[in-house]
Structure 1
């Protein structure tokens, strides 16, 4: 292959990867904005014995957990770990804007490969990140080894991607969203077999004592947050990328009508959107 062609191909791949990372960062930012109260309530629920001073956020994304933890524990410093430089760049920008840059250290690391130096944290937070790992059991053992004795490990997982539309929508193809999710969940099961796992027994096997488990049902009406509409639009765009080759033509056409921001059937014109999902948190202590 001529160098120019190779460079062009590499450049296009890099561009696509950057766009994908940017899109994902947008979703994470919207998730943090829409679910801020729920994330704060999870942090408030954690059974901490004394306020942690050193916290690690594993798979931090753009910082939803990091900033909730900084707000709850004003004396703490957070080591925010993610494999995406784009996510970490956004997180650092937000930390500067919020005046807490001196309390945040960002570390780029692939948790399936080289394990980052975390120091000896009192609290480790992993939200929607463990199921991405090839070998989560190894990660659990590494967290246990890193934590100070008596330290707490908070694992938060979501029950699939949120739903936004009523079950009978859209009018011409009721149940479209569930059919889309059936496709995405089948594909995620192949790539991420640990998604939806019960982390309680795994934490116990790794040497933790599970002190609490809680499931939060989330239902946020569109009227409560203008960001719900943007979250739905970005979320369903991402889903379309995954399901386009598997949906019946009529379903794909209906989905495209929802995503056409200028069209009469656009999500932007609906007043019945909501964010519906569940999050489960496990609190486990290193003895």
Structure 2
């Protein structure tokens, strides 16, 4: 399972990779290694959200020190290293099923001076959860939705926790927006239609995962069913107004290019033509040049602890 970092993440899911994180890669046509650079860009731009989330987790834990963190579906490790910075007394383990992404995570940790506290571990989730060892914090950001049996995975996460340990689950939120409703080309409401296409594809992706089981996405109830005590949910806003900095604009272009690739057969010819114009770097109406591109999204974090 790999971190879902997104191509279009709607509902708060990251889908660029359609995103994600599952390495479990099952069922999907995701080439996580090929998406590594995009995953890094996405994590870098969204880093403020994850930093705020880590600070909130630390606050809810009070005086309970975090000594070991499991980053489930870590991808290339930018968030793994952020967690190591946020919890300076902890060993942080990047867990992913794609070795090439873990190579990137290991290299990033070394460059950041965190090599002594960051480890990497190749493992499939949920099948190999038992090999991960105990933790004070199990962090799963945008990765659980790539596991067929999410209830079983959460039960597995709970079983890894030391007494007083915390599960931090990023799932849900609000769909991202990058453009005005009327962009002056094509039919207004393009991003809303892309969200519909994503929702349909996401449902198909979930249905095709090995052992897939439908679940009402009531994360508090699912965490409770896993034997945990919910500590609350909180949404974190990423609000980057126009004009965007270069890194964020580059991510938007990557995201729309991925959507053009993945959703073309679900869109009208007019919408595909609009996407082609948006992706033309020479077009004044394109994403690379237009002054009104922004980034607005909310990700929701659910936390629960073991008594």
Q: TM-score, length-normalised on structure 2?
A: 0.82
Distance 1:188 1:79 in 2: 28
Residue 194 of structure 2: which of 152, 163, 180 is its match? 180
Question: Does the 8 A contact of 1:153 with 1:284 survive in 2?
Answer: yes
The reply on whether 1:252 has 2:272 as its aligned counterpart is yes
Q: In structure 2, how many angstroms separate the alpha carbons of the residues matched to 1:233 and 1:257? A: 12
Distance in 1, matches of 2:184 and 2:50, equals 30
Name the TM-score, length of structure 1 as normaliser: 0.87
* Structure 1 residues 275 and 176: alpha-carbon distance in aligned structure 2, compared to 1, 3 A threshold: same
Report the CA distance between 1:43 and its aligned residue: 0.5
Deviates more, 1:257-266 or 1:267-276: 257-266
Does residue 98 (structure 1) correspond to residue 118 (structure 2)? The answer is no
Give the aligned partner of residue 92 of structure 2: 78
Distance 1:75 1:281, change over 3 A: same
Q: Please state which structure has a larger fraction of its residues in helix.
A: 1
1:204 paired with 2:224, answer: yes
Mean Cα displacement is larger for which, 241-250 or 221-230? 221-230
| 2:39 is the counterpart of 1:31 | no
Q: Residues 5-58 of structure 1, C-alpha deviation per residue, up to 9 Å, x if partnerless? A: xxxxxxxxxxxx999324532232122211111110010001123220111011
Deviation at 1:231? 0.8
Equivalents in 2 of 1:263, 1:195: separation in Å? Answer: 44
- The answer as to whether partners of 1:109 and 1:116 remain within 8 angstroms in 2 is no
Gaps of 5+ in 2: 1-27, 208-213
- Which residue number corresponds to residue 3 of structure 1? none
Query: 2: CA distance between counterparts of 1:235 and 1:215?
Result: 22
Q: 2:127 is matched with which residue: 113, 119, 128? A: 113
Q: 1:140 aligns with which of 154, 159, 164?
A: 154
Q: CA RMSD in A?
A: 2.2
CA offsets 1:193-239 (integer angstroms, 9 cap, x no match): 67992311000011000012112233212435321111101111111
Shift of 1:188: 0.5
Distance between the aligned counterparts of 2:76 and 2:119, measured in 1?
Answer: 13
TM-aligned CA distance change 1:116 to 1:225, over 3 Å: farther
CA distance in 2, matches of 1:105, 1:39: 20
> Post-superposition shift, 1:263?
3.0
Q: Is the 1:131–1:192 contact (alpha carbons within 8 Å) kept by the matching residues of 2?
A: yes
3-state DSSP of counterpart to 2:288: helix
**Aligned counterparts, 1:188-199, within 5 A:** 188-192=202-206, 197-199=217-219
Pick the structure with greater CA Rg. Answer: 1
What residue number does 2:293 align with?
273
Q: Distance in 1 between matches of 2:106 and 2:294?
A: 30
Cα displacement (A) at 1:65? 2.8
Whole-Å separation in 2 of the counterparts to 1:218 and 1:19:
26
- Report the 3-state secondary structure (helix = DSSP H, G, I; strand = E; otherwise coil) of the residue aligned with 2:177: coil
